[in-house]
Amino acid sequence: MVSEGLYEIEFESDIGRIYIKRASNKGVARTGNFQDFNSIKSNSDSTCADTEEIKGTISITSPLSGVFYSAAKQGLPPFVNAGDTVKEGSILCIIEAMKVMNEIKSDSSYKIIKTFAVNGKSVSAGEVLFLVKAV
């Protein structure tokens, strides 16, 4: 990656997804399996400034493909923002698939570190939506 000047590489197939992002001089790999929509752990991510804050984070992935919505309606505030603390059962976002609005809820109490998905844009099953830390 260094010799080619690459900072990120992503590969997807029917059996899974591999995402590699270079942080400083170290490479970081995260993988997810489309059949397992549970959260995947990530020990590092260069998109956040404080490395200590990243230790012990969890990536919340999309359980299905569709359109990501951060709020219930256009013009309303998002369900969650970076820095928010959510409780188990709190709505994190909505994924619209086949004209059905699917609420994605928190399976535990978390602090939201970063939102990766963009409001109104498509997401794929297994794609990382949020980086969170257990509280």
* Domains along the chain with CATH numbers: 8-134 (2.40.50.100)
What are the Cα distances from residue 72, in Å, to 4, 24, 43, 133?
42, 38, 31, 24
Q: What is the mean pLDDT of residues 71-91?
A: 95
Specify whether the CB–CB gap between 51 and 43 falls below 8 A.
no
Instruction: Please tell me the predicted confidence (pLDDT) of residue 29.
Output: 36
Q: Summarize pLDDT for 28-75 with one digit per residue, the tens.
A: 333 333 333 333 333 334 444 444 456 678 899 999 999 999 999 999
pLDDT of 18 above 60: yes
- Percent of the chain whose predicted confidence (pLDDT) is above 70: 70
> E strands within 24-63?
26-32, 40-42, 57-61
Q: How confident is the model at residue 20 (pLDDT cuts 50, 70, 90)?
A: confident
Distance, in Å, from the CA atom of 83 to the CA atom of 67, rounded to the nearest integer, reads 24
